[in-house]
Amino acid sequence: MNAHTLTFGLPAPGTIRAARGWEWRWTGAAVMGILNVTPDSFSDGGRHAALDAALHSARAMRDAGVLILDIGGESTRPGAAPVAAHEELDRVLPLIRALAGQGVLLSVDTMKAEVAAAALRAGAHLINDVTGLRDPEMRRVCADAGAPACVMHMQGQPQTMQAAPHYGDVVQEVHTYLREQAREALNAGVPDVLLDPGIGFGKTLDHNLSLLRALPDLTAGPHPVLIGASRKRLIDLMASVPDAADRDPGTLALHLHAARSGAAVVRAHAAAAHVQALRVQAALNAPPGPALHSDG
C-alpha cells in the first residue's frame, strides 16, 4: 500500500511534529465521510439539517474508523443554486464547534474564503474547495491558518458544469491544471494540498472513466490524491441505478479501484462501509503471514 503525508501548519488530530510543521502520515486510502448540512444535496439533502442528527452521524462515522469528516453547507450538485455566506455559516459553524476536539480531522467543503476563514477559526483543519483555490483570497486564508487544502478540478460552475463539457485531452488538461494549482497554492504559503480530479464536475461518462483509468499517473506525483465518486450519476450511466441512494455498491467498486490505483483518500456517503471494504482489501493485498483466525 502507498504511504502518504499531509502537512499542517498547526497541530491537528493524528498529526506528529515534523520539520515543516505537523504531519499526518497514513498508508492506503483513508475515508472522508460526507456530512452535508444542506436541504438540497443530491443524495442526502435534509438528512442532517438538525444538529443532533448531524452529530449522531458524525460520531458514528468517527467510531467506525473514518479519519476525516467533510462538512458542507452549500450543495454543489449540477444546477445547484448559490447560497449566501451567512446562511452557509449558520449551517456549518454549530457542527464544527460541536465536533472540535473530538479526535477527527474536520474538513469544510466550501467555495467561499469568508466561510473558510470562519470555519478554520471555529476548529476545522482542512479546506475542500471545488473551485481548486482559484480565488487568491482562499489561498491566503489557508496559508494564514496553516490549513492544507483539497484542490479540485471543475469545468465551469455547479450551475452550468454539465452543459456539454468538452476537452481536447481530459487527462492531460485536468492533471496539468491540478499540478499548476498545487504549485500556486504552495507558493502562496498553503502548507500542503490534496489533488482531486473532480469526478462528475464538468465531465461526461467517458471523461470520468478516462480520469479513473489514468489515476496511477496522478497518484505517482508528490501530492496525495482524493477521489469522490460517491453515488454520482456515472454509476447510473454504467449500471442503470437511477436512485442515488441505491448507488453505494457502485461507489464501493469505483473507490476500491481508486485505492488500488494509489488514491490517498476516498470521499463517501456510506463511510463506515468503505472503512470495512478497504480493510478487507488491505488484508487481501498484505504479504502472506500467519493466519489471522482459524475459524474460517
Strands ordered across the beta sheet of 126-129: 193-196, 149-152, 126-129, 105-109, 68-72, 30-36, 265-268, 226-227
The question of whether 232 is a catalytic residue gets the answer yes
The catalytically annotated residue of 91, 233, 247, 267 is 267
Rg (C-alpha) for the chain, rounded Å, is: 18
Distance CA 41, CA 269 (A): 12
**177's grid cell:** 491544471
The catalytically annotated residue of 203, 231, 232, 233 is 232
Q: How far is CA 283 from CA 191, 203, 291, in A?
A: 33, 34, 11
Q: How far is CA 253 from CA 34, 56, 247, 258, in A?
A: 18, 27, 10, 9
**32's grid cell:** 472522508
Residues tagged active-site: 232, 267
